[in-house]
Structure 1
């Protein structure tokens, strides 16, 4: 009789276990502000059997240690942790986590330009006002010939045609030249050519010449120094220009190496939608100071840009088709 009562008690306890398990089971789902499921969210509390994580659908299930109100914390990298108090009678919950932005220290991106009293390298900066004062015809080396430690020359003896520069005795193969951070030197042999950049100084905002070995940004070929050119920024005002020039070299009572230049430029300024468009066309000719060293070239420049509240996007296109005599061959 005693064994029969014990067996009946065990049966009653066993039949009560599923009901007890169901009462302590808590299931739910975690989503973000856009109702997208978040996986691998940590679900933990001192009143649950063990810490669990959500699956790929954001679902989870935990077993409470007692049928009573319990506080459960949900945490995930990139989201603000959230603690929810769950009633004893609740068996399902829905949780929404908000994305968290972690503040960081400011990041400053700088180009390879020297700063006065900060960069340990001798340099010279030619701003736009100085370029307008010195430049009228020719190529970049002729514009920079007054820079200390820089020597410029050309095959034709004038400002146009094949021209070159040296810094501290090193030729163009050891002097990297950049336009808006883009290398101008030939990638194969590091040779430097300005002949297909006629009248480029008209589209340059400033030029910096660094003398000697300096910033490692320029690579191991920068023994003599480096030249960094920045083109003009987006045009803020509307303008139109047309120019014509004519001249030459005086030799006694005669004129040799006749030169002429014609240019037309425009800029729309900053339009209402944030766009800006500017362009320039140039045709120039030089007879050269030496005999049979003439140069005849045309240049096209087009700049399209857009100014947004936190970003400026610009596209610059430049080409300079030309014909020259064989002055470079003697």
Structure 2
């Protein structure tokens, strides 16, 4: 009887030790915290990305910009060749990167694609003076980051518009160049208000005659941005509008026409009236 009692007491003691160990473990375990989903996305390369790329900051953009379109602005980038039709860089302009034409160059503005869905080109003439509204540009030479898809076979160009300033501001500028080229702009912003809201707007106009005949330009650009800042998020609504009137300049000339009519000769829109005099549409 004594042996049975001792055995029963031992079982109870062992059970108490196990229960106490479980209770201690439950008390010592770390608290489980469920985290919210985090999504990381990017269209720009960094220092650890295995590709060649070039970053252009806002001061560099302003230094090299003179009412010129993006392809002419980027003409000094390695492996990039650009040209304009009117001779000033403000009219129709094109570029190639590593020999690949614009239909295989992926262009994004704040992460949104700008390539035309039909031709895959970007018609920079429809976004005049866009460079003055940019904060930075990145050119990725080669296939590019995977987020850009198959359209980035030749290269990728990432454009980022300017953000809000901490203080309210207002500015205006005007400049003049060769061949009666003029550019004027006005910009203003509220700065970041106490409620976190910010509004910025910029309007510009570019006019000029161009180097070749009928290479005139008359371009308008409007950029507005409404932002809301908090401690952990930023919401921004941007509106960009471009309006352009540009002369036809894409017809080429041979050496005979240049010798006869001069280097600035352009046959586009040319006709003769009843008296045989040369006229232009």
After superposition, where does 1:47-196 map in structure 2 within 5 Å?
102-104=33-35, 107=38, 109-116=40-47, 118-196=48-126
Whole-angstrom CA distance in 2 between matches of 1:218 and 1:311? 24
Partner of 1:72: none
TM-score normalised by length of structure 1: 0.64
| Offset of residue 214 of structure 1 | 2.5
CA-CA distance at 1:212 after TM superposition: 1.0
Q: Is 1:199 aligned to residue 129 of structure 2?
A: yes
Does residue 241 (structure 1) correspond to residue 163 (structure 2)? The answer is: no
Q: How many Å separate the matches in 1 of 2:95 and 2:145?
A: 20
What SS does structure 2 have at the residue aligned with 1:156? coil
| Cα deviation code 1:207-230 (max 9, x no counterpart) | 000001122221112221110011
TM-score normalized with structure 2 length: 0.75
Kept after mapping to 2: 8 A contact 1:209/1:228? yes
CA–CA separation in structure 2 for the residues paired with 1:112 and 1:139: 22
Alignment of 1:258-269 (within 5 A): 258-269=180-191
If asked which structure has higher relative contact order (CA below 8 Å, sep 6+), I would say: 2
Does structure 1 residue 302 correspond to structure 2 residue 233? no
- Secondary structure at the counterpart of residue 126 of structure 2: coil
Q: Distance in 1 between matches of 2:36 and 2:220?
A: 49
Superposition pairs for residues 283-322 of structure 1, below 5 Å?
283-322=205-244
More helix by share: 2
What residue ranges of structure 1 are gaps of 5+ in the alignment? 1-99, 249-256
What SS does structure 2 have at the residue aligned with 1:173?
Answer: helix
CA–CA separation in structure 2 for the residues paired with 1:171 and 1:237 = 42
Distance 2:180 2:104 in 1: 33
Secondary structure of the residue aligned to 1:159 is: coil
Change (3 A) 1:246 1:211: same
What is the 5 A alignment of 1:34-53? Answer: none
- Structure exhibiting the larger radius of gyration computed from Cα positions: 1
CA distance in 2, matches of 1:158, 1:136: 10
How far apart are residue 260 of structure 1 and its match? 0.1
Cα shift readout 1:167-207 (whole Å, capped 9, x = no counterpart): 00111100011000111110122122100111111110100
> Residue 197 of structure 2 is aligned with which of 268, 271, 275?
275
- Does the C-alpha gap of structure 1 residues 323 and 111 become closer, same or farther in structure 2, counting only changes over 3 Å? same
Q: How many pairs does the alignment contain? A: 222
Q: Shift of the alpha carbon at 1:291? A: 1.6
Query: 1:329 Cα shift?
Result: 4.2
Shift of the alpha carbon at 1:108?
A: 5.8
In structure 2, distance between residues paired with 1:171 and 1:101: 54
